[in-house]
Chain A
Amino acid sequence: MSGSRALWLVGAAVAAAAVSPWLGPALDGDTAAFVLRELRLPRVALGALVGATLAMTGAAFQVVFENPLASPTTLGTTAGAGLGALAVLVFAPTAAASLVGLGAFFGALSISFGLAALARSAALRAEDLVLAGVALSVGAGAATTGLQLQADAAATLASVRWAMGTLSTVGWEAPARLAPPALLTLGVLLAHGRALQALTAGADRAATLGVNTGRVRARVLLFGALGVAACVATTGPIAFVGLLVPHVVRRVVGAGPRALLPLSAVVGAGFLPLADALSRLALPDRDLPVGVVTAALGAPTLLWLLARRRGRMA
């Protein structure tokens, strides 16, 4: 691991988060203090929490699934959330927004619980788990489409809007509500740093070093899903942060999981507020969902990673 590059990365992330509230239409006049305190700063806090949780969960998933493409998005957590949110919008059209969040939360958790139950068996190979995650993801997606066909136009539109993901928030309630589950996830994942470091040599080797691989996999999956579900319930799905950030950190610093997890959290906490501020710059009059910006950056990066991986295997 390169220590100086790690410092550089942390500095860049802190700078990104610090500059984010000042990007966008100029702050002046009577409303400046209000906009900053009640709109932009809570938004940065929310973005930092979500970015840190998604990025660290993605980093941990990539280790336990022994797959560089593992992330909450590719393993069905996000699809489960979408299905849960839509179910609430369809079956309880008059429900409050917080109930939609609750539906997303339980949708995400139920997919991940299923996967964690499979993961407890150490006999199951990591790639089988990834396949199971993809299958659950596709299944949840199909159920979502089926439900949309049954739903009226208003519910479908609302679910599509919800699925775009936004950090839009007023006041400090949302970040305050998200902080406990997000910090719990970050803490539990960090506590598994040693086990994850041992797991980089493969599940069998880790088991002979004394790692209870089935239990570590199940816990990382459960607590990762808990934090991600809380994020998705608050902001809607925000794609690719969990996939992208750990790879960028690995590429720049070359770190094992023990350093990769905290660094990914810091970089995620800087990247997402910055992406949000950039979306504000791109379309000042309209609230461009940050999920669109991260997906626009993430899709080509994912393709590039795939191309690189193919090249290495050939």
Chain B
Amino acid sequence: MISTPLIEAHGLCVGPATAPRLSDVRVALQPGRVTLLLGPNGAGKSTLVRALLGLERASSGQVSVGGRALTALTHSERAAALGWLPQQPALDADLTAREVVEAARYRFDEPRRVAQRAAEDALDALGARPLASRPLTTLSGGEVQRVRLAALRAQQAAWWLLDEPGNHLDPAVRFEVVDHLRAHAQAGGGVVLVTHDLGLISHLPGAFVWVLRAGRVVDTCATDTPDLADRLGRAFGLSMRSVRVDGVDRLVVLGSAE
């Protein structure tokens, strides 16, 4: 089991008071199950993730990790608590897959050999070992995502914060990614998943849901809440229904709400 701290935002505001990107956000994120951050475009999901990572300055309020203010943590304490898979990866600099994963071991003070072995193990766990020596720029979208997940794994952070990890991936790979996230949560880790992919919801029974809209938290529930379709429909401005297929509730979008 991983010892995973609780992450909280207390009245978190980001951006100028006249045009805040987040206003008065209060969330308490718990490990053990996947947490979904949902909301329409521009709701502030990515901004919240960046603020939880300490990449956005809070104009008021604060983020705490295990009861300590995020700003009081050292860089390596932060990297031990929170790992990030950003939406738009910088695909730079001729690094091979192995080097990308090895770079995620930065917080560990260890000999190069150990870092390399950890990188190969992480690539192995994602089925990406054969890609180890390939430059990242030569890989397909799905392969790159595997490598980036391997890097997240190699960092061994308690929390994984992922911003649209399924973008540009085919459905099979998308579900595979979700399986990795669920396994991390089941092992006691924390997972925050920003996604537009409502199809994933039925794949994540019992996940926590936080719904954002216009920089505010407008709802919180779980994916097995009975009236989930209505609540999400309201947040997205959509008409949604829950339909039972093969014993599993699935969300179906009927169209925009009238």
Question: Which A residues fall within an 8 A CB radius of B?
Answer: 1, 63, 123, 194-195, 197-198, 200-202, 204-212, 250, 254-258
- Pick from A63, A123, A202, A209: contact of B155, CB under 8 Å: A209
8 interchain pairs, CB-CB under 8 A? A63-B93, A198-B104, A200-B92, A201-B89, A201-B103, A202-B90, A205-B86, A250-B94
Q: Is the CB of A208 within 8 A of B55?
A: yes
Set of chain B residues within 8 Å of A63, measured between Cβ atoms: 93
CA distance A250 to B96 in the complex (A): 13
Write the B53-96 contact mask toward A (1 if CB under 8 angstroms, else 0). Answer: 11101000000000000000001101110111010011011111
User: Could you tell me the distance in whole angstroms from the C-beta of B106 to the nearest C-beta in chain A?
Assistant: 5
Q: Quick check: is B107 within 8 A (CB to CB) of the other chain?
A: yes
Q: In this assembly, does B11 line the interface, its C-beta being within 8 Å of a C-beta of chain A?
A: no
Contact of A210 among B92, B94, B107 (CB under 8 A): B107
Whether the Cβ atoms of A201 and B90 lie closer than 8 Å is yes
* Chain B residue, CB-CB nearest to A194: B106
Alpha-carbon distance A257/B102, docked complex (angstroms):
13
Contact of B76 among A198, A206, A210, A257 (CB under 8 A): A210
Distance in Å: Cβ of A4 to nearest Cβ of chain B: 13
CB distance from A147 to the nearest CB of B (A): 40
* Contact status A257-B93, CB under 8 Å: yes
CA distance A200 to B55 in the complex (A): 17
- Name A255's closest neighbour in chain B (CB-CB): B94
User: Which residue of chain B is the closest to A209 with respect to CB atoms?
Assistant: B106
A302 to B134, CA, bound (A): 28
- In the docked arrangement, what's the CA distance between A63 and B57, Å? 24
A197-B99, A200-B92 given; A209·B55 CB < 8 A: no
Contacts of A207 in B (CB 8 A): 53-55, 75
Evaluate whether A198 and B103 lie within 8 angstroms (CB atoms) in the complex, with A205-B90, A207-B55 already known.
yes
Do A254 and B55 touch (CB < 8 A)? no
Q: Find out whether the CB atom of B106 lies under 8 angstroms from the CB atom of A256.
A: no
Instruction: Report if B200 contacts A (CB, 8 A).
Output: no
Minimum CB–CB distance for B91 against chain A, Å? 9
B251, CB-defined interface residue at 8 Å: no
Which residues between 92 and 114 of chain B lie within 8 Å of chain A, taking CB atoms? Answer: 92-96, 99-100, 102-104, 106-107
How far is A39 from B76 in the complex, measured between Cα atoms in Å?
51
The interface on chain B, measured as residues whose beta carbon lies within 8 A of the other chain's beta carbons, has a size of 30
B233 within 8 Å of A (CB atoms): no
Closest chain B CB from A3 CB (angstroms): 11
Which of B79, B93, B135 is packed against the most chain A CB atoms within 10 Å?
B93
Which of B57, B84, B106 has the largest count of A CB atoms less than 10 A from its CB? B106
Question: Across the interface, which residues of B come within 8 angstroms of A200, CB to CB?
Answer: 90, 92-93, 95, 103
Q: How far is the CB of B165 from chain A (nearest CB, A)?
A: 14
Whether A210 contacts B78 by the Cβ 8 Å rule is yes
Interface contact A123-B57, CB-CB below 8 Å: yes
How distant is the Cα of A63 from the Cα of B95 in the complex, in angstroms? 13
Given A201-B90, A208-B82, 8 further pairs, Cβ under 8 A = A1-B94, A204-B50, A204-B55, A205-B84, A208-B78, A208-B83, A209-B104, A209-B106
Residues of A within 8 A of B53 (CB): 207-208
**Beta-carbon nearest neighbor of B84 in chain A:** A208
Contacts of B100 in A (CB 8 A): 201
Complex Cα spacing A202 to B50, Å: 14
Complex contact A211–B94 (CB within 8 A): no
- Chain B residues lying within 8 Å of A194, measured Cβ to Cβ, are 103, 106
Partner among A1, A201, A210 whose Cβ is within 8 Å of the Cβ of B96: A1
Chain A residue nearest to B77 (CB atoms) is A210
- Closest approach, in angstroms, between the C-beta of A245 and any C-beta of chain B? 16
The smallest beta-carbon distance between A213 and chain B, in angstroms, is 9
Residues of A within 8 A of B155 (CB): 209
The reply to whether A208 and B95 contact each other, CB–CB distance below 8 Å, is no
Task: Kindly provide the distance from the CB of B135 to the nearest chain A CB, expressed in whole angstroms.
Answer: 6
Cβ contact within 8 Å between A210 and B55: no
Residue of A197, A198, A201, A212 with most chain B CB atoms under a 10 A cut-off = A201
Which of B55, B82, B95 is A256 in contact with, Cβ under 8 Å? Answer: B95
CB distance from A242 to the nearest CB of B (A): 18
Contacts of B76 in A (CB 8 A): 210
CA distance A254 to B134 in the complex (A): 11
Instruction: Assess the A254–B90 pair: CB atoms within 8 A.
Output: no
Shortest Cβ distance from residue A252 to the other chain B in the assembled complex, whole angstroms: 11
Report how far A140 CA is from B180 CA in the complex, Å.
55
B90–A209 CB distance below 8 A: no
Minimum CB–CB distance for A175 against chain B, Å: 33
Q: Which of A123, A204, A210 contacts B106 (CB 8 A)?
A: A210
Query: B90 — which chain A residues lie within 8 A by C-beta?
Result: 200-202, 205
Question: Cβ of A211: which chain B residues have Cβ within 8 Å of it?
Answer: 75, 106
Measured CB to CB, the closest approach of chain B to A258, in angstroms, equals: 8
Ranked nearest first, the 5 interchain pairs of A and B with the lowest CB-CB distance are A210-B79, A210-B107, A200-B93, A254-B94, A202-B90
